[in-house]
Structure 1
Amino acid sequence: MSAFRYLQGYPAPLQEQVRQLLATDRLGDYLHRRYAERHQVLSDKALYNYANELKQRHLRNAPGLDKVLYDSKLDVVKNALGMHTAISRVHGGKLKAKKEIRVAALFKDAPAAFLHTIVVHELAHFREFEHNKAFYQLCEHMLPGYHQLEFDLRVYLVWRDSGAAQQTDSTS
């Protein structure tokens, strides 16, 4: 099943548990019980304020954010749930870098914890560029329980891609 591409790096028994929950239509219930809280970060301005608040709390010395927005063009198929960029431009005699974060628009409707996870992940890239031990330690520092949240976010994407999410939305 191609939806399990989000879980490829995880052990087979764990993937099998997810597969069984999906096959018995219990995966959505599991996710809803754990992550029932929705967020109110629905506009680009609200997302900018949300990300900037997290940055100020955890990465005070990092450069300021120039732009944070929901991007409907980010394609989950290409593993881009969020994106961070530092665009360098010559301004006069100086080189200035603009820091941007783009979050996939699907997170407007996702549980609050998953939006938090994506924003923390992208903010961590401003200090640590690679997905290495220091990067994940920073993510865990900024969001305790990050590893479990990242896994559950991947499970949410499996559930969403399975079509079960659309069936749930149409029956509610």
Structure 2
Amino acid sequence: MKYLTGYPESLKAQVQQLQAEDRLGDMLLKKYPHGHGVRTDKALYDYVMALKDKFLRSSEPLSKIAFDSKLHVIANALGTHTTVSRVQGNKLKAKREIRVATLFREVPEEFLRMITVHELAHIKEKAHDKAFYQLCTHMEPRYHQYEFDLRVYLTHVDAAGKLDWPART
């Protein structure tokens, strides 16, 4: 239950019971019956920019948005938001990037939205504090539920492997 650290014991017990009965994957597939169609870096860029334009229109621009196969759950990173600063002449230029673990190519849209909202929130709020999570829930009211369900999915992946979500039609 490493992905559920910090959650109440009653929730962890429910997840353990579903896992022991081999029903965890079925529960997730029932709750989230479809995957999404965002498979390329270009599609991810368009997806993230649509959210950014809706909620963070006046924030600093993003220079790169991409899936990253080097991000691994084991390293506790499902996505990253970085700022690279360089001196060009007498000006300091900053480039902002968002990278999302390739795991998110093959999950429900709700999980992709959760990680996208999380990384976009870092544009305004650096720390994982109250203001950060308020911004996350402003952009996605069900943020906390999606984060919990993603953690349940990661628990399932560790025990039984990936689920195959059919693409939306």
Q: Tell me the TM-score range normalised by the shorter chain.
A: over 0.9
The DSSP-based 3-state class of the residue aligned with 1:41 is coil
Residue of structure 1 equivalent to 2:42: 45
Higher RCO (C-alpha under 8 Å, 6+ residues apart): 2
CA deviation string 1:92-124 (max 9, x = no partner): 211111110010001111111101100000000
Q: Which runs of 5+ in 2 are unaligned?
A: 165-169
The DSSP-based 3-state class of the residue aligned with 2:77 is coil
Moved over 6 A (4+): none
Tell me which amino acid in the other structure corresponds to 1:108. Answer: R
Q: What is the correspondence of 1:105-124 to structure 2 with a 5 Å cutoff?
A: 105-124=102-121
Residue of structure 2 equivalent to 1:78: 75
TM-score normalised by the chain length of structure 1? 0.92
Tell me which amino acid in the other structure corresponds to 1:114. Answer: F
The DSSP-based 3-state class of the residue aligned with 2:124 is coil
Residue of structure 2 equivalent to 1:104: 101
- Alpha-carbon RMSD across the aligned residues, in angstroms, is 1.0
Residue of structure 1 equivalent to 2:167: none
**Quick one: distance in 2 between partners of 1:124 and 1:88?**
20
Residue of structure 2 equivalent to 1:146: 143
**More displaced stretch, 80-89 vs 155-164:** 155-164
**Quick one: distance in 1 between partners of 2:57 and 2:50?**
10
- Using the aligned pairs only, state the percent identity: 57
Q: How many aligned residue pairs are there?
A: 164
CA contact (8 A) 1:28 1:164 kept: no
2:157 counterpart of 1:157? no
Q: Which runs of 5+ in 1 are unaligned?
A: none
Following TM superposition, by how much is the alpha carbon of 1:37 offset from its aligned partner in structure 2, in angstroms? 2.1
TM-score normalised by the chain length of structure 2? 0.94
Alignment counterpart, residue 93 of structure 1, candidates 90, 94, 98: 90
